[in-house]
Amino acid sequence: MLKSYLKRDRVPSAFIFSGPDGVGKFSIAKELAKAVNCNQVQDFSACDNCRNCIQIDKEIHPDVFILRPQGKAEEITIDDIRELEKHLILTPQEAKKKFFIVDSAHRMNESATNAFLKSLEEPPLDSVIILVTSQPQTFPETIISRCQMIKFAPLTKQNLIALLEDRYHWDRKTAEIVSGLSQGSMEMALKIKELISDEVWMKLQEFFSNYQFLEDRTTPGHERRRIVREKIELLILAIRENLLSVVGGGGKVFKNESSTIRNKNVLVEKIEQLEYLYSALDSNVSPELVYRIAGKIWREVYQR
C-alpha cells in the first residue's frame, strides 16, 4: 500500500501511522524514507549501505527531519512546527523526497496542531509527512481527512521470530523466548535483548535499590521523566519473564535474579501496577513519586 501510494508522484503524501506503542511505527517511517531515497534500492527495499541509508539510520540526513516532543512539558509546540515549515518549502538537497516524521504526534499542543493543519493544506510534491501516534483519536478531523491512515498491529509470534533471525541474526532459541515476552513488538524485543547483559541488569538493580536518583537535582525534569519511564519498561519485561517461568512458558534469557514471588496472580498484579505508572508519566505526575512507587514494587518482587 505504501509502495503504490508513494509512486504517485503527482500527489503530495501525508500519512498517519497509528497503532499501539512498540509495534514499530517509527522504525517503519524511517525504513520508508530509506526505501524512497536509497541509491541502490531494489524492489522497494533499501540497501542499508549507501550514504542516504546510513544517514537516515543515524538521523543526520539533511532531507529527513524528525520532530519529537521536548521541553519540560514534553510536547510539540508551534515553534517546532514553524521550524518544520521553513524546511518544507525548500527543495531537497540530496534526496528524491524530503521526509518529515513527527514522533508521538498526539503531543502537539493546540496551537501547534492549528499551525500544522496549514502545512497539510498544500504540501510540496517533493515531501512526505508522517505523523506517528498511538492516539489518532486526539487529532481533529481536519488533519485526519488530509492524511492516509496506516494502522499497525502487533506481529505474530512466528513473524517476529523470523525477523529476529533474519534481520538481527539471533539464534532460534533466543528468538523464540524473546518473541514470547515481547507481545508482538519488535521494539520491545530489542529492549529485552538489552537485559541479557549482566551490566544492564546490574544498573537496573542499582537504580531501584538506592535513592541517588531522588538526590540528583542537576538533571532536567523531562530527562528524569524519560529515565524513569525507560527503567520501568525494563522492569516490566524482567517481571514478565519471571511470570512466564512460574507458569512454565519459556526458558531463561535475562541474566537477572529470580523473583521472590511465585504466585502468578501477584506477578500479574505487579506488572499491571507498573504499566499504570508507565502511563502516568505521560501526565503531570511527578517522576519522583513514580520512582518511589516503582522502587517499592522492585523490592517486593526481588529483595528477600
Contact assessment for residue 267 and residue 274, using Cβ atoms and an 8 Å cutoff: no
Indicate if the pLDDT at residue 9 is higher than 60.
Answer: no
pLDDT of 43 reads: 65
Distance of alpha carbon 133 from alpha carbon 254, whole angstroms: 30
What is the phi-psi region of residue 88: left when phi exceeds 0, alpha when psi lies from -120 to 50, beta otherwise?
alpha
Task: Look at the block and give the residue holding cell 531522588.
Answer: 214
Contact assessment for residue 26 and residue 64, using Cβ atoms and an 8 Å cutoff: no
pLDDT bucket at 296, cuts 50 / 70 / 90: very high
Distance of alpha carbon 7 from alpha carbon 1, whole angstroms: 10
Sequence ranges of the domains in the chain = 2-151, 195-302
Distance of alpha carbon 237 from alpha carbon 234, whole angstroms: 5
Strand spans (E) along 138-243? 148-151
- Nearby residues of 264 by Cβ (< 8 Å), 6 or more positions away: 243, 246, 247
The CA-based angle 62-63-64, given to 5 degrees, is 100
Read off the pLDDT of each residue in 167-179 and give the average, rounded to a whole number. Answer: 82
pLDDT bucket at 48, cuts 50 / 70 / 90: confident
Contact assessment for residue 12 and residue 119, using Cβ atoms and an 8 Å cutoff: no
11 or 288, which is more confident? 288
Amino acid at 182: S
Contact assessment for residue 6 and residue 36, using Cβ atoms and an 8 Å cutoff: yes
Q: Can you say whether the dihedral through the CA atoms of 238, 243, 246, 250 is positive or negative? A: negative
Indicate if the pLDDT at residue 72 is higher than 80.
Answer: no
pTM above 0.85, yes or no: no
Residue 195 grid cell: 537485559
Q: How far is CA 261 from the centre of its chain?
A: 30
Q: How far is CA 114 from the centre of its chain?
A: 25
Read off the pLDDT of each residue in 222-237 and give the average, rounded to a whole number. Answer: 85
Q: Residue ranges of the alpha helices (H) in 210-286?
A: 212-215, 221-247, 264-280
Which DSSP category does 16 fall into?
E
pLDDT bucket at 8, cuts 50 / 70 / 90: very low
pLDDT one-digit tens code per residue, 132-156: 998 899 899 989 988 889 888 888 8
CATH of 2-151, one of 3.40.50.1970, 3.40.50.300, 3.40.50.2000, 3.90.228.20: 3.40.50.300
* Full DSSP string of 19-55: -STTSSHHHHHHHHHHHHH-TT-BTTB--S-SHHHHH
Task: Look at the block and give the residue holding cell 521553513.
Answer: 86
Number of neighbours of residue 174 by Cβ within 10 angstroms: 19
Indicate if the pLDDT at residue 130 is higher than 50.
Answer: yes
Distance of alpha carbon 44 from alpha carbon 294, whole angstroms: 44
